[in-house]
Protein backbone atom coordinates (compact mmCIF):
# COMPACT_ATOMS: atom_id res chain seq x y z
CA UNK A 1 0.00 0.00 0.00
CA UNK A 2 2.92 2.35 0.72
CA UNK A 3 4.25 1.82 -2.82
CA UNK A 4 0.85 2.55 -4.40
CA UNK A 5 0.18 5.63 -2.25
CA UNK A 6 3.66 7.02 -2.96
CA UNK A 7 3.12 6.57 -6.71
CA UNK A 8 -0.29 8.18 -6.45
CA UNK A 9 1.19 11.20 -4.67
CA UNK A 10 3.99 11.59 -7.25
CA UNK A 11 1.53 11.50 -10.17
CA UNK A 12 -1.22 13.42 -8.34
CA UNK A 13 -3.78 10.63 -8.59
CA UNK A 14 -7.15 11.48 -7.01
CA UNK A 15 -7.72 7.96 -5.67
CA UNK A 16 -6.96 4.28 -5.96
CA UNK A 17 -9.09 2.33 -8.43
CA UNK A 18 -9.71 -1.46 -8.61
CA UNK A 19 -7.75 -3.48 -11.15
CA UNK A 20 -8.82 -6.86 -12.52
CA UNK A 21 -5.42 -8.41 -13.29
CA UNK A 22 -1.67 -7.92 -12.93
CA UNK A 23 1.32 -8.90 -15.06
CA UNK A 24 4.49 -8.63 -13.04
CA UNK A 25 8.00 -7.91 -14.37
CA UNK A 26 11.18 -8.54 -12.40
CA UNK A 27 11.28 -12.31 -12.83
CA UNK A 28 14.55 -13.30 -14.47
CA UNK A 29 17.52 -13.78 -12.20
CA UNK A 30 19.46 -11.70 -14.76
CA UNK A 31 17.41 -8.61 -13.93
CA UNK A 32 16.51 -9.34 -10.30
CA UNK A 33 19.82 -10.52 -8.82
CA UNK A 34 20.32 -11.64 -5.24
CA UNK A 35 18.94 -8.45 -3.67
CA UNK A 36 15.72 -8.90 -5.64
CA UNK A 37 15.36 -12.48 -4.39
CA UNK A 38 15.78 -11.33 -0.80
CA UNK A 39 13.17 -8.59 -1.23
CA UNK A 40 10.68 -11.01 -2.77
CA UNK A 41 11.21 -13.58 -0.03
CA UNK A 42 10.75 -10.88 2.62
CA UNK A 43 7.13 -10.46 1.42
CA UNK A 44 6.21 -13.94 2.69
CA UNK A 45 2.75 -13.87 4.27
CA UNK A 46 1.26 -11.50 1.71
CA UNK A 47 -1.07 -12.89 -0.97
CA UNK A 48 -2.42 -11.60 -4.27
CA UNK A 49 -6.12 -10.80 -4.47
CA UNK A 50 -6.56 -10.73 -8.27
CA UNK A 51 -5.31 -12.97 -11.12
CA UNK A 52 -1.60 -12.29 -11.54
CA UNK A 53 0.99 -13.75 -13.93
CA UNK A 54 4.70 -13.15 -14.50
CA UNK A 55 6.94 -11.70 -17.17
CA UNK A 56 9.44 -14.08 -18.84
CA UNK A 57 12.18 -15.68 -16.77
CA UNK A 58 15.78 -16.18 -17.84
CA UNK A 59 15.16 -19.77 -18.92
CA UNK A 60 12.57 -22.44 -19.69
CA UNK A 61 11.46 -23.50 -16.21
CA UNK A 62 11.15 -27.17 -17.23
CA UNK A 63 13.77 -27.55 -19.95
CA UNK A 64 16.61 -25.37 -18.70
CA UNK A 65 19.08 -28.27 -18.89
CA UNK A 66 18.36 -28.67 -22.60
CA UNK A 67 19.08 -24.92 -22.93
CA UNK A 68 22.43 -25.57 -21.20
CA UNK A 69 21.73 -23.05 -18.45
CA UNK A 70 24.22 -23.09 -15.59
CA UNK A 71 22.67 -25.08 -12.66
CA UNK A 72 23.50 -22.32 -10.17
CA UNK A 73 21.63 -19.75 -12.31
CA UNK A 74 18.73 -22.22 -12.63
CA UNK A 75 18.62 -22.75 -8.85
CA UNK A 76 18.27 -19.02 -8.24
CA UNK A 77 15.71 -18.63 -11.03
CA UNK A 78 13.58 -21.39 -9.51
CA UNK A 79 13.88 -19.72 -6.06
CA UNK A 80 12.37 -16.56 -7.59
CA UNK A 81 9.46 -18.47 -9.11
CA UNK A 82 8.83 -20.29 -5.81
CA UNK A 83 8.74 -16.94 -3.95
CA UNK A 84 6.14 -15.62 -6.41
CA UNK A 85 4.13 -18.85 -6.07
CA UNK A 86 4.01 -18.45 -2.29
CA UNK A 87 2.47 -15.01 -2.89
CA UNK A 88 -0.23 -16.65 -5.01
CA UNK A 89 1.12 -15.44 -8.37
CA UNK A 90 0.58 -17.95 -11.18
CA UNK A 91 3.94 -19.31 -12.36
CA UNK A 92 3.12 -18.51 -16.00
CA UNK A 93 5.96 -16.44 -17.42
CA UNK A 94 5.09 -14.54 -20.57
CA UNK A 95 5.04 -11.11 -22.17
CA UNK A 96 1.84 -12.18 -23.97
CA UNK A 97 -0.58 -12.75 -21.06
CA UNK A 98 -3.44 -12.19 -23.53
CA UNK A 99 -2.39 -15.49 -25.21
CA UNK A 100 -2.60 -17.18 -21.79
CA UNK A 101 -6.28 -16.35 -21.41
CA UNK A 102 -5.76 -13.09 -19.50
CA UNK A 103 -7.82 -10.84 -21.76
CA UNK A 104 -9.17 -7.68 -20.08
CA UNK A 105 -12.31 -6.17 -21.61
CA UNK A 106 -12.62 -2.75 -23.22
CA UNK A 107 -12.23 -0.08 -20.53
CA UNK A 108 -11.05 -2.52 -17.82
CA UNK A 109 -8.31 -1.21 -15.50
CA UNK A 110 -5.31 -3.52 -15.05
CA UNK A 111 -1.73 -3.27 -13.76
CA UNK A 112 0.64 -4.77 -16.31
CA UNK A 113 4.39 -4.30 -16.53
CA UNK A 114 5.98 -5.52 -19.73
CA UNK A 115 6.00 -2.75 -22.32
CA UNK A 116 4.71 -4.74 -25.32
CA UNK A 117 1.97 -6.31 -23.17
CA UNK A 118 1.04 -2.84 -21.91
CA UNK A 119 0.84 -1.57 -25.50
CA UNK A 120 -1.33 -4.52 -26.50
CA UNK A 121 -3.66 -4.14 -23.51
CA UNK A 122 -4.14 -0.39 -24.00
CA UNK A 123 -4.23 -0.27 -27.77
CA UNK A 124 -5.63 -3.54 -29.11
CA UNK A 125 -7.90 -4.55 -26.21
CA UNK A 126 -8.80 -1.01 -25.09
CA UNK A 127 -8.00 -1.90 -21.48
CA UNK A 128 -6.24 0.68 -19.29
CA UNK A 129 -2.82 0.32 -17.70
CA UNK A 130 0.29 2.35 -17.06
CA UNK A 131 3.72 0.85 -17.72
CA UNK A 132 4.06 -0.56 -14.23
CA UNK A 133 7.36 -1.45 -12.65
CA UNK A 134 7.67 -4.94 -11.17
CA UNK A 135 7.16 -3.81 -7.52
CA UNK A 136 4.14 -1.60 -8.31
CA UNK A 137 2.46 -4.37 -10.36
CA UNK A 138 3.06 -6.79 -7.49
CA UNK A 139 1.70 -4.24 -5.02
CA UNK A 140 -1.42 -3.88 -7.20
CA UNK A 141 -1.78 -7.66 -7.37
CA UNK A 142 -1.77 -7.82 -3.57
CA UNK A 143 -3.94 -4.77 -2.85
CA UNK A 144 -6.15 -5.17 -5.94
CA UNK A 145 -5.87 -1.47 -6.80
CA UNK A 146 -3.73 1.08 -8.65
CA UNK A 147 -3.47 4.89 -8.47
CA UNK A 148 -5.80 6.61 -10.94
CA UNK A 149 -3.44 8.52 -13.24
CA UNK A 150 -1.81 8.31 -16.68
CA UNK A 151 -3.47 5.94 -19.15
CA UNK A 152 -6.34 5.23 -16.75
CA UNK A 153 -7.68 8.70 -17.57
CA UNK A 154 -9.54 9.59 -20.79
CA UNK A 155 -7.55 12.78 -21.40
CA UNK A 156 -4.23 10.89 -21.66
CA UNK A 157 -5.49 8.48 -24.31
CA UNK A 158 -5.67 10.99 -27.16
CA UNK A 159 -3.29 10.91 -30.11
CA UNK A 160 -0.22 13.16 -29.90
CA UNK A 161 1.05 12.60 -33.45
CA UNK A 162 -0.11 11.04 -36.70
CA UNK A 163 2.05 8.61 -38.65
CA UNK A 164 1.06 8.09 -42.27
CA UNK A 165 2.38 4.75 -43.47
CA UNK A 166 3.14 5.02 -47.19
CA UNK A 167 4.91 1.72 -47.72
CA UNK A 168 3.48 -1.78 -47.86
CA UNK A 169 4.55 -3.71 -44.77
CA UNK A 170 5.08 -7.29 -45.87
CA UNK A 171 6.50 -9.10 -42.86
CA UNK A 172 5.99 -9.11 -39.13
CA UNK A 173 9.48 -7.65 -38.80
CA UNK A 174 8.36 -4.71 -40.99
CA UNK A 175 5.74 -3.91 -38.34
CA UNK A 176 8.40 -4.24 -35.69
CA UNK A 177 10.62 -1.83 -37.66
CA UNK A 178 7.76 0.68 -38.00
CA UNK A 179 7.17 0.46 -34.26
CA UNK A 180 10.80 1.11 -33.43
CA UNK A 181 11.01 4.09 -35.80
CA UNK A 182 7.73 5.56 -34.54
CA UNK A 183 8.71 4.94 -30.92
CA UNK A 184 11.87 7.00 -31.38
CA UNK A 185 9.78 9.82 -32.78
CA UNK A 186 6.94 9.59 -30.28
CA UNK A 187 8.87 9.16 -27.02
CA UNK A 188 6.04 8.73 -24.52
CA UNK A 189 3.44 10.33 -26.81
CA UNK A 190 0.45 8.44 -28.30
CA UNK A 191 0.87 7.76 -32.04
CA UNK A 192 -2.07 7.38 -34.42
CA UNK A 193 -1.32 5.26 -37.51
CA UNK A 194 -2.97 5.79 -40.86
CA UNK A 195 -2.52 3.67 -43.98
CA UNK A 196 -1.95 0.27 -42.33
CA UNK A 197 -3.57 -2.52 -44.32
CA UNK A 198 -4.14 -6.18 -43.48
CA UNK A 199 -3.24 -5.84 -39.80
CA UNK A 200 -3.91 -8.71 -37.45
CA UNK A 201 -3.18 -9.39 -33.80
CA UNK A 202 0.34 -10.77 -34.47
CA UNK A 203 1.29 -7.67 -36.46
CA UNK A 204 -0.13 -5.38 -33.78
CA UNK A 205 1.83 -7.33 -31.15
CA UNK A 206 5.02 -6.66 -33.14
CA UNK A 207 4.14 -2.99 -33.69
CA UNK A 208 3.57 -2.42 -29.97
CA UNK A 209 6.82 -4.14 -28.99
CA UNK A 210 8.77 -1.90 -31.38
CA UNK A 211 7.03 1.20 -30.01
CA UNK A 212 7.88 0.23 -26.46
CA UNK A 213 11.53 -0.36 -27.35
CA UNK A 214 12.18 2.61 -29.67
CA UNK A 215 10.44 4.95 -27.21
CA UNK A 216 8.33 4.50 -24.12
CA UNK A 217 4.99 4.36 -25.91
CA UNK A 218 2.24 2.65 -23.92
CA UNK A 219 -0.72 3.28 -26.22
CA UNK A 220 -1.26 3.69 -29.97
CA UNK A 221 -4.22 3.82 -32.29
CA UNK A 222 -4.67 2.42 -35.79
CA UNK A 223 -7.30 4.04 -38.01
CA UNK A 224 -10.24 1.70 -38.55
CA UNK A 225 -8.72 -1.07 -36.42
CA UNK A 226 -8.13 -0.37 -32.72
CA UNK A 227 -11.15 0.16 -30.45
CA UNK A 228 -10.56 3.80 -29.48
CA UNK A 229 -9.43 5.14 -32.86
CA UNK A 230 -12.61 7.15 -33.36
CA UNK A 231 -12.23 9.17 -30.18
CA UNK A 232 -8.42 9.43 -30.25
CA UNK A 233 -7.87 12.17 -32.81
CA UNK A 234 -7.57 15.76 -31.65
CA UNK A 235 -7.03 18.77 -33.88
CA UNK A 236 -3.61 20.12 -34.79
CA UNK A 237 -1.28 17.21 -34.14
CA UNK A 238 1.93 16.88 -36.11
CA UNK A 239 2.08 14.46 -39.04
CA UNK A 240 4.99 12.28 -40.11
CA UNK A 241 5.42 9.95 -43.06
CA UNK A 242 6.91 6.47 -42.96
CA UNK A 243 7.95 5.25 -46.41
CA UNK A 244 10.36 2.85 -48.10
CA UNK A 245 13.40 4.94 -47.08
CA UNK A 246 12.47 4.98 -43.39
CA UNK A 247 11.71 1.24 -43.43
CA UNK A 248 15.12 0.39 -44.94
CA UNK A 249 16.79 2.80 -42.52
CA UNK A 250 15.62 0.77 -39.50
CA UNK A 251 17.07 -2.47 -40.91
CA UNK A 252 20.38 -0.98 -42.01
CA UNK A 253 21.10 2.12 -39.89
CA UNK A 254 19.49 1.39 -36.52
CA UNK A 255 20.46 -2.29 -36.51
CA UNK A 256 22.87 -4.59 -38.28
CA UNK A 257 21.60 -6.83 -41.11
CA UNK A 258 21.78 -10.60 -40.57
CA UNK A 259 25.09 -12.16 -41.67
CA UNK A 260 25.48 -15.62 -43.27
CA UNK A 261 26.26 -17.30 -39.98
CA UNK A 262 25.12 -16.70 -36.40
CA UNK A 263 25.25 -18.78 -33.22
CA UNK A 264 21.54 -18.48 -32.58
CA UNK A 265 18.38 -17.49 -34.42
CA UNK A 266 15.94 -16.47 -31.70
CA UNK A 267 12.27 -16.04 -32.62
CA UNK A 268 9.43 -15.02 -30.33
CA UNK A 269 9.78 -11.44 -29.14
CA UNK A 270 7.10 -10.85 -27.94
CA UNK A 271 6.41 -14.52 -27.21
CA UNK A 272 5.38 -16.33 -30.37
CA UNK A 273 1.74 -17.02 -31.15
CA UNK A 274 0.70 -20.46 -32.40
CA UNK A 275 0.68 -19.15 -35.99
CA UNK A 276 4.23 -17.85 -35.62
CA UNK A 277 5.42 -21.23 -34.34
CA UNK A 278 3.65 -22.84 -37.30
CA UNK A 279 5.46 -20.51 -39.71
CA UNK A 280 8.82 -21.50 -38.24
CA UNK A 281 7.87 -25.18 -38.55
CA UNK A 282 6.96 -24.68 -42.21
CA UNK A 283 10.27 -22.96 -42.95
CA UNK A 284 12.44 -25.67 -41.34
CA UNK A 285 10.42 -28.74 -42.35
CA UNK A 286 12.74 -31.36 -43.84
CA UNK A 287 15.80 -29.17 -43.34
CA UNK A 288 18.60 -29.20 -40.79
CA UNK A 289 20.06 -26.57 -38.44
CA UNK A 290 23.88 -26.34 -38.64
CA UNK A 291 25.67 -28.29 -35.92
CA UNK A 292 27.31 -25.17 -34.51
CA UNK A 293 24.15 -23.00 -34.62
CA UNK A 294 20.85 -23.04 -32.76
CA UNK A 295 17.26 -22.14 -33.54
CA UNK A 296 15.13 -21.26 -30.53
CA UNK A 297 11.52 -20.14 -30.51
CA UNK A 298 10.39 -18.48 -27.29
CA UNK A 299 6.76 -18.64 -26.25
CA UNK A 300 4.42 -19.18 -23.33
CA UNK A 301 3.75 -22.59 -21.84
CA UNK A 302 0.18 -22.45 -23.23
CA UNK A 303 1.29 -21.90 -26.84
CA UNK A 304 4.09 -24.46 -26.48
CA UNK A 305 1.58 -27.10 -25.39
CA UNK A 306 -0.69 -26.21 -28.33
CA UNK A 307 2.27 -26.33 -30.74
CA UNK A 308 3.10 -29.78 -29.37
CA UNK A 309 -0.47 -30.97 -29.96
CA UNK A 310 -0.44 -29.57 -33.51
CA UNK A 311 2.84 -31.33 -34.35
CA UNK A 312 4.84 -28.11 -34.94
CA UNK A 313 7.21 -28.88 -32.08
CA UNK A 314 8.15 -32.26 -33.59
CA UNK A 315 8.94 -30.63 -36.94
CA UNK A 316 11.13 -27.94 -35.35
CA UNK A 317 12.91 -30.52 -33.17
CA UNK A 318 13.47 -32.83 -36.15
CA UNK A 319 15.32 -29.96 -37.83
CA UNK A 320 17.47 -29.46 -34.71
CA UNK A 321 15.62 -26.44 -33.31
CA UNK A 322 13.73 -26.07 -30.05
CA UNK A 323 10.68 -24.28 -28.68
CA UNK A 324 11.21 -22.93 -25.18
CA UNK A 325 8.50 -21.74 -22.80
CA UNK A 326 8.81 -19.07 -20.08
CA UNK A 327 12.11 -17.54 -21.25
CA UNK A 328 13.27 -14.59 -23.33
CA UNK A 329 16.35 -14.17 -25.51
CA UNK A 330 17.19 -10.80 -23.97
CA UNK A 331 16.99 -12.09 -20.39
CA UNK A 332 18.75 -15.44 -20.88
CA UNK A 333 22.43 -15.74 -19.88
CA UNK A 334 23.46 -16.16 -23.54
CA UNK A 335 27.12 -15.26 -23.08
CA UNK A 336 27.55 -17.96 -20.43
CA UNK A 337 26.23 -20.44 -23.01
CA UNK A 338 28.91 -19.42 -25.50
CA UNK A 339 26.50 -17.49 -27.72
CA UNK A 340 27.93 -14.34 -29.32
CA UNK A 341 25.89 -13.65 -32.47
CA UNK A 342 22.10 -13.68 -32.48
CA UNK A 343 19.69 -13.17 -35.39
CA UNK A 344 16.21 -11.89 -34.51
CA UNK A 345 13.11 -10.76 -36.40
CA UNK A 346 12.10 -8.26 -33.73
CA UNK A 347 13.50 -4.74 -33.30
CA UNK A 348 12.83 -5.01 -29.59
CA UNK A 349 14.81 -8.25 -29.36
CA UNK A 350 17.65 -6.68 -31.35
CA UNK A 351 17.74 -3.69 -29.00
CA UNK A 352 17.49 -5.56 -25.70
CA UNK A 353 19.53 -8.64 -26.59
CA UNK A 354 22.42 -6.30 -27.33
CA UNK A 355 21.77 -4.21 -24.22
CA UNK A 356 20.97 -6.88 -21.63
CA UNK A 357 22.43 -10.16 -22.90
CA UNK A 358 25.45 -8.22 -24.25
CA UNK A 359 25.76 -10.15 -27.50
CA UNK A 360 25.86 -9.01 -31.14
CA UNK A 361 22.27 -8.82 -32.36
CA UNK A 362 21.20 -8.72 -36.02
CA UNK A 363 17.75 -7.75 -37.29
CA UNK A 364 15.95 -9.14 -40.34
CA UNK A 365 12.79 -10.99 -41.30
CA UNK A 366 11.89 -14.50 -40.17
CA UNK A 367 13.15 -16.14 -43.36
CA UNK A 368 16.56 -14.44 -43.06
CA UNK A 369 16.83 -15.50 -39.40
CA UNK A 370 16.12 -19.13 -40.29
CA UNK A 371 18.43 -19.17 -43.32
CA UNK A 372 21.33 -17.93 -41.18
CA UNK A 373 21.27 -21.15 -39.13
CA UNK A 374 20.24 -23.69 -41.81
CA UNK A 375 22.72 -26.28 -43.09
CA UNK A 376 23.37 -26.00 -46.84
FE1 LIG B 1 9.06 -10.51 -24.35
FE2 LIG B 1 11.64 -10.60 -23.86
FE3 LIG B 1 10.77 -9.58 -26.09
S4 LIG B 1 10.05 -10.05 -22.42
S5 LIG B 1 8.82 -8.66 -25.56
S6 LIG B 1 10.56 -11.73 -25.45
S7 LIG B 1 12.51 -8.79 -24.90
Q: How far apart are CA 121 and CA 133, in angstroms?
A: 16
Model pTM? 0.97
Between the CA of 205 and the centroid of ligand 1 the distance, in Å, is 11
Atom of ligand 1 minimally distant from the CA of 346: 3
Could you give the C-alpha distances from 89 to 3, 53, 59, 81, 270, in angstroms and in order?
18, 6, 18, 9, 21
Ranges of residues in the chain whose predicted pLDDT is under 70: none
Q: Given CA atoms 100, 349, 353, 316 in this order, what sign does their dihedral have?
A: positive
Which pLDDT score, from 0 to 100, does residue 236 have? 86
Which pLDDT score, from 0 to 100, does residue 240 have? 98
Which residues are bridge partners to 194 per DSSP?
A: 164
Which pLDDT score, from 0 to 100, does residue 235 have? 84
Which pLDDT score, from 0 to 100, does residue 65 have? 97
Atom of ligand 1 minimally distant from the CA of 352: 7
Between the CA of 233 and the centroid of ligand 1 the distance, in Å, is 30
Atom of ligand 1 minimally distant from the CA of 349: 7
Q: Do 147 and 29 touch, CB atoms closer than 8 A? A: no
Domains in the chain, CATH or no CATH each: 2-153 (3.30.499.10), 158-254 (no CATH), 264-371 (3.30.499.10)
- Tell me the residue ranges of DSSP E strands in the chain: 16-18, 22-24, 52-54, 111-112, 145-147, 161-165, 191-194, 221-222, 238-242, 264-267, 294-299, 322-325, 341-344, 360-363
Which pLDDT score, from 0 to 100, does residue 188 have? 95
Q: What lines the ligand 1 site, CB under 6 Å? A: 55-56, 95, 114, 116, 209, 269-271, 298, 328, 330-331, 348-349, 352
Between the CA of 257 and the centroid of ligand 1 the distance, in Å, is 20
Residue 124 burial by Cβ neighbours in a 10 Å radius (0-12, 13-18, 19+): buried
Q: How far apart are CA 349 and CA 70, in angstroms?
A: 22
Q: How far apart are CA 31 and CA 356, in angstroms?
A: 9
The residues near 224 (Cβ < 8 Å, ≥ 6 apart) are none
Which residue among 56, 208, 268 has the greatest number of ligand 1 atoms within 8 angstroms of its CB, and so is best to mutate? Answer: 56
Which pLDDT score, from 0 to 100, does residue 234 have? 85
Q: What is the pLDDT of residues 253-309, one digit of tens each?
A: 999 999 999 999 999 999 999 999 999 999 999 999 999 999 999 999 999 999 999
Residue 45 burial by Cβ neighbours in a 10 Å radius (0-12, 13-18, 19+): exposed
Which residue has the CA at smallest separation from atom 3 of ligand 1? Answer: 269
CA dihedral 271, 60, 118, 139 (to 10 degrees): 170
Atom of ligand 1 minimally distant from the CA of 353: 7
Q: What is the CA radius of gyration of the chain?
A: 20
Which pLDDT score, from 0 to 100, does residue 306 have? 98
Atom of ligand 1 minimally distant from the CA of 330: 7
Phi, psi (5° rounding) for residue 238? Answer: -70, 150
Which pLDDT score, from 0 to 100, does residue 130 have? 98
Amino acid sequence: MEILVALGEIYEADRLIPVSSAQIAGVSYTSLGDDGIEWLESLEGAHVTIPAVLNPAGMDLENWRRMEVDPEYARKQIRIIEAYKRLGVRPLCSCTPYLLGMVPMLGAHVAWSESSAVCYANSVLGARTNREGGPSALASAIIGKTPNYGYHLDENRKAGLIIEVEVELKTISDYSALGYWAGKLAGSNVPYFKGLKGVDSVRLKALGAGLGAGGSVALYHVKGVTPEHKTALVERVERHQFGEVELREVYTNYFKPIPDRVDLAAIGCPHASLDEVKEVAELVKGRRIKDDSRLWVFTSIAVKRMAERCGYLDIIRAAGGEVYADGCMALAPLKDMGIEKVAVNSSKAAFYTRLLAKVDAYFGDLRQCIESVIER
